[in-house]
Amino acid sequence: MIPFNKPYKTGKETKYIYDAVNSAKISGNGKYTQKCQKYFEDKYGFKKCLLTSSCTDALEMCALLLEIKPGDEIIMPSYTFVSTANAFVLRGANVIFADSSESNPNIDENKVEGLITSRTKAIVVVHYAGISCNMDKIMRIANKYKLIVVEDAAQAIDSYYKKKPLGSIGHLSTFSFHETKNIISGEGGMLAINDNRFLKRAEIIWEKGTNRVAFWRGEIDKYGWVDIGSSFLPSEIIAAFLYAQIEKLEKIQSKRIQIWNEYYKKLKSLKRNNKVILPYLPPYSGNNGHMFYLVCKNTKERDELIMYLKETGINAVFHYQSLHTSPFYINKYKGKDLSWSIKYSECLLRLPFYFELKMKEIDFICRHINMFYNSQ
């Protein structure tokens, strides 16, 4: 069976974990945490990075930093992972779902302004498959109404909008290092802070509401409880794993982009013949080779293709179920029909994608997808 995902190990993970375990510090914010954070700050120009145990944690930190209160409204796409919304719902926010765009699953930037009210606090954009949202337009709207922009860049490490790294444009941004992502640490994530207003408080929220980070830097002689917070930082064992991955980021990225291009090349005749929709990269977007997907005509066709591929030994999978129709939110949702979001929930199919996927396996997968459509 060709799996959907296979976590890649660069070879140095256990060496660095061994080093971390044998050092005097295994808890968070040690040598490896700081090396990882500095790497991302230097490479992508994020003002400050804090590793977290997951992207979910980083999103929850955003909700705390923005002091979200019951009744506040947060605009985001319905076509996203549950954590994008849940982080804000935990603080009592009302999530205002926007539709995806027709050309790709990202939020339709033209639908955002109409959803803004006096209670709106933030816009959360999700760079689906590492493909950039229209950030100039989003930032223009946010500035006009004095809203905060959070980039949920869970899938978007090392991707760009024009020449700017994703995650460096919004006031805050969040990344995932879950084992399905380009670089991984099992579970893992990161908050990037680009707005000075949040720098000091983010460290405090990260460390259980205490000023322990300032204490470790020698700025104060004892630390204590100064704000709300939680335990968002991962142990050094996780950070050591991530550091081994970071060292091979360029190699990982170049292979993943090669895989993406190979899929595109071998499937583009299906697009030409209007059998499927392939990923659309707007001219302003880079490509970080995170994912390759198809959009089928309807659910029946997608499910038949999934079954056909499974019988051939290929594990292809669908993705998000639109949050406005989820069992938790359906009765709370009062907005319009979000037909593109529903379309992606019902028709999008993700193909196997991982560093060790071989060109001959891509050929095998594409040959079968082509056969499926050509026999119809």
Q: Residues in the site for ligand PLP, rule: CB under 6 A?
A: 54-56, 80-81, 83-84, 126, 152, 154-155, 176, 178, 189
Nearer to ligand PLP, 184 or 267 (CB): 184
d(CA 110, CA 336): 15
Give least dist CB 97 to ligand PLP, A.
14
Selection from 237, 307, 238 nearest residue 26 by Cα? 237
Which residues, in sequence order, are bridge partners of residue 252? none
Nearer to ligand PLP, 55 or 365 (CB): 55
CA angle 255, 257, 263 (to 5 degrees): 105
d(CA 331, CA 329): 6
Selection from 301, 312, 248 nearest residue 277 by Cα? 301
Write down the residue that tokens 């709106």 correspond to. 120
d(CA 59, CA 77): 15
Nearer to ligand PLP, 134 or 173 (CB): 173
Q: Which two tokens stand for residue 26?
A: 């295994």
Sign, CA dihedral 320-93-116-167, equals negative
Give least dist CB 183 to ligand PLP, A.
12
Selection from 57, 50, 151 nearest residue 107 by Cα? 151
Give least dist CB 59 to ligand PLP, A.
6
Nearer to ligand PLP, 54 or 253 (CB): 54
Nearer to ligand PLP, 81 or 88 (CB): 81
Nearer to ligand PLP, 177 or 243 (CB): 177
Contact 26, 236 (CB under 8 A): yes
Contact 13, 177 (CB under 8 A): no
Backbone angles phi, psi at 133, to 5 degrees: -75, 170
Give least dist CB 92 to ligand PLP, A.
20
Nearer to ligand PLP, 316 or 366 (CB): 316
Give least dist CB 24 to ligand PLP, A.
29
Give least dist CB 54 to ligand PLP, A.
3
Give least dist CB 224 to ligand PLP, A.
30
